[in-house]
């Protein structure tokens, strides 16, 4: 299966932290995917029935018998991964200061469109394809730690009309015990449509949404609890948004047209963060709640708690690599993804010095999930060709009976943070 998208989009914090930029990696030039079938883990073309295999394993060598040697081995491991230089900015921006704060949140729409909001609740929309900047309605209130979900819209003939709805929500909502479902400034939606029945043209409007039921339930906030939204996705072809909260142990669904909450389930989705539907495999993919590995589940029916039908480990860093923020998953279409992980290492410069050398870096890994017997290039294939990448198998139902899936891990690339070309903060 080929790529549905040409660009991998990044929000980069420049060397002056208050500046941010959108940078777009051309996947036709920066290759995260091999053109040939990755080799099977055991190198002889047979299937491995043990545990999920890793594309890149950077365990310290056997002679790393003390702390410094272990640190040196971890640093050397990072250097083995191919470095990537970021392209020039497509667009740079800076929020106006409020006090001594410059906060900008960026939310992806379709293609290379991104919605940006600041700590004053102002918003604009940038399209990297056309290089157009459009003013947007202000949010009713600025958001602290928000997430977003985009639902595209279509015209009467089913064609994408360039609009849609982007839902912006607080991931750690404060209690609103007296609202009883009335609209909340913590949950908003930018909706593209006609403002009134008599309007002749469409435009963006910002609407308040009611909060999910747990925000109005005092029992969910007793004993100092502050429930957070741990995973979120779009289901039903865009008819509903589903969110899960580990703090409440529940899942809640929002009708994207009527803006009403329903279907309160006493279980959570088995994912962490954003979950995306892949129509070619008829499954939803995200990072697993347990260990943040790539995982899949069938969310077409919500009658019972969804079970993971596949979990794959694409990267195995040394123990000395410390995770600095949650990983991110980018859906490139046709079963291809980029998994983004953020790390920190440190080591002493020599045996007689207290000077510490620290490195912050991001590892981006291209992975592909295909039905078993498929090589990812529209060919039926069971054996690898010996290029050294890994794969692992799993079983799923895909909503249409049992299907066996395989993950091919392709290439990992590293970007050093706080360098001349900035620090990657968000990838989409």
The residue among 338, 341, 339 whose CA lies nearest residue 323 is 341
pLDDT tens for 147-202 read: 999 999 865 445 556 679 999 999 999 999 876 778 999 999 999 988 887 888 88
pLDDT at 414: 95
Position 103 confidence tier, pLDDT thresholds 50, 70, 90: confident
The residue extents of the domains of the chain are 7-427
Query: pTM of the prediction?
Result: 0.83
Determine the Cα–Cα distance for residues 285 and 350; give it in Å rounded to an integer: 45
Residue 62 neighbours by CB distance under 10 Å:
7
- What number is the average pLDDT over the span 369-385? 59
Position 88 confidence tier, pLDDT thresholds 50, 70, 90: very high
pLDDT at 101: 72
125 neighbors 134 (Cβ within 8 angstroms)? yes
| Contacts of residue 199, Cβ cutoff 8 Å, sequence gap at least 6 | none
* Secondary structure of the chain in HEC code, one letter for each residue: CCCCCCEEEEEEECCCCCEEEEEEEECCCCCCCCCCCCCCCCCCCCCCCCCCCCCEECCCCCCCCCHHHHHHHHHHHHHHCEECCCCCCCEEEECCCECCECCEEEEECCCCEEEEEECCCCEEEEECCCCEEEEECCCCCCCCCEEEEEEEEECCCCCEEEEEEEEEEECCCCCCCCCCCCCEEEEEEEEEECCCCCCCCCEEEEEEECCCHHHHCHHHHHHHCCCCCCEEEEEHHHCEEEEEECCCCEEEEEECCCCCEEEEECCCCCEEEEEEEECCCCEEEEEECCCCCEEEECCCCCCCCCCEEEEECCEECCCCCEEEEEEEEEEEECCEEEEEEEEEEEEECCCCCCCEEEEEEEEEEEEEEEECCECCCCCECCCCCCCCCCEEEEEECCCCCCEEEEEEEEEEEEEECCECCEEEEEEC
Is the pLDDT score of 47 beyond 80? Answer: no
Please give the share of the chain, as a percent, with pLDDT higher than 90: 58
Find where tokens 């995973």 sit. 231
Is the pLDDT score of 111 beyond 70? Answer: yes
How many angstroms separate the Cα of 209 from the Cα of each of 98, 182, 231, 261, 396?
26, 8, 19, 10, 36
Bridge partners (DSSP) of residue 71 are: none
Six token digits for residue 220: 């969910």
pLDDT at 52: 38
pLDDT tens for 199-242 read: 888 899 999 999 999 999 888 998 888 899 999 999 999 999 99
Six token digits for residue 40: 């099977």
Is the pLDDT score of 383 beyond 50? Answer: no
pLDDT at 17: 66
Is the pLDDT score of 50 beyond 50? Answer: no
Position 275 confidence tier, pLDDT thresholds 50, 70, 90: very high
Bridge partners (DSSP) of residue 168 are: 148, 188
Is the pLDDT score of 141 beyond 80? Answer: yes
pLDDT at 54: 39
12 neighbors 85 (Cβ within 8 angstroms)? no
Is the pLDDT score of 401 beyond 80? Answer: no
Determine the Cα–Cα distance for residues 406 and 393; give it in Å rounded to an integer: 4
pLDDT at 357: 79
- What number is the average pLDDT over the span 35-57? 42
Bridge partners (DSSP) of residue 166 are: 150, 190
Mean of all residue pLDDT scores within the chain = 83
pLDDT at 391: 60
């Amino acid at each position: 299966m080929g790529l549905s998208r040409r660009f991998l989009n990044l929000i980069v914090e420049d060397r002056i932290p208050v500046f941010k930029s959108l940078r777009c990696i051309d996947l036709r030039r920066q290759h995260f995917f091999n053109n040939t079938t990755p080799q099977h883990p055991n190198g002889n073309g047979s299937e491995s029935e043990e545990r999920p295999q890793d594309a890149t394993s950077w365990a310290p060598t056997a002679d790393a018998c003390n702390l410094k040697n272990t640190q040196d081995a971890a640093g050397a491991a990072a250097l083995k991964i191919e470095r990537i230089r970021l392209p020039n900015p497509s667009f740079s921006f800076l929020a106006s200061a409020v006090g001594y704060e410059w906060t900008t949140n960026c939310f992806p729409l379709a293609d290379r469109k991104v919605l940006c909001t600041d700590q004053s609740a102002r918003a604009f929309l940038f399209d990297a394809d056309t290089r157009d900047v459009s003013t947007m309605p202000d949010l009713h209130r600025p958001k602290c730690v928000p997430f977003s979900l985009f639902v595209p819209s279509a015209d009467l003939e089913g064609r994408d009309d360039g609009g849609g709805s982007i839902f912006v929500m607080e991931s750690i909502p404060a209690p609103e015990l007296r609202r009883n479902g009335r609209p909340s400034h913590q949950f908003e939606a930018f909706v593209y449509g006609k403002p009134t029945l008599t309007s002749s043209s469409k435009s963006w409007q910002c609407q308040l949404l009611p909060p999910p039921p747990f925000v109005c339930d005092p029992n969910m906030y007793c004993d100092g609890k502050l429930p957070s939204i741990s995973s979120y996705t779009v289901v039903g072809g865009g008819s509903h948004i589903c969110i899960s909260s580990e703090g409440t142990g529940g899942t809640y669904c929002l009708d994207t047209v009527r803006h009403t909450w329903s279907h309160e389930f006493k279980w959570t989705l088995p994912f962490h963060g954003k979950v995306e539907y892949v129509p070619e495999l008829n499954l939803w993919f995200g990072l697993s709640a347990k260990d943040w590995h790539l995982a899949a589940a069938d969310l077409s029916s919500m009658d019972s708690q969804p079970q993971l039908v596949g979990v794959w480990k694409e990267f195995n860093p040394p123990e000395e690599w410390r995770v600095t923020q949650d990983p991110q998953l980018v859906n490139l279409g046709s079963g291809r993804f980029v998994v983004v992980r953020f790390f920190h290492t440190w080591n002493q410069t020599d045996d007689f010095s207290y000077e510490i050398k620290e490195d912050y870096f991001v590892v981006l890994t291209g992975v592909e999930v295909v039905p078993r017997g498929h090589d990812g290039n529209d060919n039926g294939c069971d054996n690898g060709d010996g290029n050294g990448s890994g794969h692992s198998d799993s079983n799923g139902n895909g909503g249409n009976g049992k299907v066996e899936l395989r993950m091919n891990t392709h290439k990992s690339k590293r970007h050093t943070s706080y360098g001349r070309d900035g620090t990657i903060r968000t990838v989409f």
